[in-house]
Amino acid sequence: MSTAIQVIALVISAVTLAYLIKYVGATEIIARQSIRQVEATFRPALVCVPGRSLDEVPKLVNIGMGPALEIEWHLSSTIRDRIPYLVPNLEPYALRYFPAMKLLFETTAAT
């Protein structure tokens, strides 16, 4: 009788251990996802804002929560620039004007 009780206790302990291992694995996945979610809230998010008139160059704005570092932008092989950093919620960064830049459309004076 005592041997049967010990075997049953061993089986119950083994099942409990299996569920505990499964629970720890699920908790680890949840913890990793939580860390990713928190890190994502502090990432930069850059958007390009067109100028208010045709003469203004476009501007970059960091609408994210974290600083954007070592930003590179290019429109072609000759029209490119590098910005060392862009802090969120500051004045938009005006992109440098290049002589080769052309507007998509141009207005004409009324005749």
Q: Are 95 and 60 in contact (CB under 8 A)?
A: yes
Q: Are residues 48 and 79 in the same domain?
A: yes
pLDDT of the residue at 24: 94
Q: Is the pLDDT of residue 28 over 90?
A: yes
Report the C-alpha gap between 46 and 22 in whole angstroms: 41
Minimal CA–CA distance to 69: which of 44, 94, 36, 42? 44
Which residues form the domain of 56?
43-94
Q: Are residues 32 and 47 in the same domain?
A: no
pTM of the model: 0.53
Q: Are residues 50 and 36 in the same domain?
A: no
Q: Is residue 102 in some structural domain? A: no
pLDDT band at 25 (very low <50, low <70, confident <90, very high): very high
Minimal CA–CA distance to 72: which of 81, 63, 64? 81
Q: Is the pLDDT of residue 110 over 60?
A: no
Tokens of 86: 């862009």
Q: Are residues 48 and 90 in the same domain?
A: yes
Q: Taking residues 71-91, report their average pLDDT.
A: 81
Q: Are 61 and 73 in contact (CB under 8 A)?
A: no
Q: Are residues 70 and 83 in the same domain?
A: yes
Report the C-alpha gap between 70 and 78 in whole angstroms: 19
More confident residue, 98 or 1: 1
Report the C-alpha gap between 19 and 69 in whole angstroms: 45
Q: Are residues 70 and 86 in the same domain?
A: yes
Q: Which three-class secondary structure state does DSSP give residue 36?
A: helix
Domain count, the chain: 2
One-letter amino acid identity for 31? A
